[in-house]
Amino acid sequence: MDQDKASTWDGVTLRSTYKDRLVEGRDELADAARDGAWSTVFELLEEHPDWVNVGRVCGTSGYTPLHQAAWHGADADVVHRLTARGAWRTLRTTQGERAIDIATRQGHPHLLTPLTPVIHHHLPAETLRLIQHHFHALIHERAGDLVTEHRLRLPELEPLTEQRHPASWFPVPGMYGGFSYRLEQGSLTVESWCRVVGGSGQRHIIDEHGPHLVTEGFV
């Protein structure tokens, strides 16, 4: 994954949202990572580099290939190759564990150094939590029932702190658009729109106190 381009947050959890072919490919990746078949994992990531931070569609664990590498105690080279492709060390499973937490629990000390997050954009944890809370409220407001209809997993902001270019895109099924967001000087800039609705674009700046609408109507 190009570290200078915006990443993508894949919040889809329903298999019916995607075409069968994509779901089958994601299953193949999840199965290979679960089984520690790293050559297959890297072959699939070579073809689909944006899958490096995704798990099984509708999976309950939230494990990505990096979490599975931590669980297996894979060679450090596997971890280095995954992180070089843009795997997020700060991404948490549904149980709230980062890859380094899994490696610690499983007793794999050789992975602790390569799995230690490298943070490029420092924010107090409570500030980040509050901004994320306000961001999720804005998503509910702008996307309406689509969040619950598609059972979306909303974006977590912690992974932005380790990206050199702290920007991401969250597409919302059925919205014909979504949310582009980036960290800037201790706040989150969010642009959202629906492509089929003229004048729907809104830009918000979110800080720990809440969202502030600064521009609208640009789409």
Tokens 């943070």 locate to: 119
> Which pLDDT belongs to residue 155?
98
> Which pLDDT belongs to residue 4?
61
- Beta pairing, strands 177-184 & 187-194: antiparallel
Go through the domains of the chain in sequence order and give each one's CATH number: 7-115 (1.25.40.20), 125-216 (no CATH)
- What is the reported pTM? 0.94
Instruction: Check if the beta carbon of residue 217 is closer than 8 Å to that of residue 199.
Output: yes
Q: E strands of the chain, at which residues?
A: 7-8, 167-172, 177-184, 187-194, 202-207, 210-216
Quote the CA–CA distance of 212 and 190 in Å, as a whole number.
Answer: 10
> Which pLDDT belongs to residue 5?
81
Q: What is the pLDDT along the chain (219 residues), one digit of tens a residue?
A: 455 689 999 999 999 999 999 999 999 999 999 999 999 999 999 999 999 999 999 999 999 999 999 999 999 999 999 999 999 999 999 999 999 999 999 999 999 999 999 999 999 999 999 999 999 999 999 999 999 999 999 999 999 999 999 999 999 999 999 999 999 989 999 999 998 898 999 999 999 999 999 999 998
Pick from 113, 118, 42: which is nearest to 82 by CA? Answer: 42
> Which pLDDT belongs to residue 219?
86
Quote the CA–CA distance of 29 and 46 in Å, as a whole number.
Answer: 11
> Which pLDDT belongs to residue 2?
52
